[in-house]
Structure 1
Amino acid sequence: MPVFHWIILALWLVFIVYWAISALRAKRSVRGAVWWRHLIVRLVIAMLIIVAVQVPAIRHALQAATHQGPGNMLAQALGTLLVALGIGFALAARIHIGRNWGMPMSRKEEPELVTGGPYALVRHPIYTGILTALLGSVIGYGLVWLPVLLLSAPYFIYSARREEALMREQFPERYPAYMQRTKMLLPFVL
Structure 2
Amino acid sequence: MFANTVIGICWTAVVVIWLITGATSSATTRKTAGKAGRWFRFFLAIVFPLCFLVDDLRILSTVYVFPNDTYLQWISVSLCISGISFAIWARLHLGNSWAMPMTQTENTELVTSGPYHLVRHPIYAGLSLAMIGSMLAASALWSLWYITWTLYFLYSAFMEERALKARYPIDYPIYKSKSKMFIPFVL
Residue 64 of structure 1 corresponds to: 63
Residue 32 of structure 1 corresponds to: 30
Q: TM-score, normalised by structure 1?
A: 0.85
Alignment of 1:40-189 (within 5 A): 41-50=40-49, 54=54, 56=56, 59-65=58-64, 69=68, 72-189=69-186
Q: TM-score, normalised by structure 2?
A: 0.87
Distance 1:164 1:66 in 2: 33
- Please report the RMSD computed on the Cα atoms of aligned residues, expressed in angstroms: 2.5
Distance 1:61 1:105, change over 3 A: closer
Structure 1, unmatched stretches of 5+, are: none
Distance 1:116 1:134, change over 3 A: same
Count of aligned pairs: 185
- Amino acid in structure 2 at the alignment position of 1:5: N
> Percent of aligned pairs with the same residue?
32
Q: Return the offset for 1:43.
A: 3.1
- Check the 8 A contact 1:89/1:118 in 2, yes or no: yes
Residue 18 of structure 1 corresponds to: 17
Structure 2, unmatched stretches of 5+, are: none
- Check the 8 A contact 1:122/1:186 in 2, yes or no: yes
Distance 1:44 1:64 in 2: 22
Structure 1 residues 103-157: Cα deviation after superposition (integer angstroms, max 9, x where no partner): 1232222111111111111100000011111111111334342111221122111
Q: Return the offset for 1:170.
A: 1.6
- Amino acid in structure 2 at the alignment position of 1:63: T
Q: Which moved more, 1:133-142 or 1:110-119?
A: 133-142
Task: Determine which structure has the larger helix proportion and give its number.
Answer: 1
Structure 1 residues 19-52: Cα deviation after superposition (integer angstroms, max 9, x where no partner): 01100011122x2117897666323224443355
Distance 2:95 2:39 in 1: 26
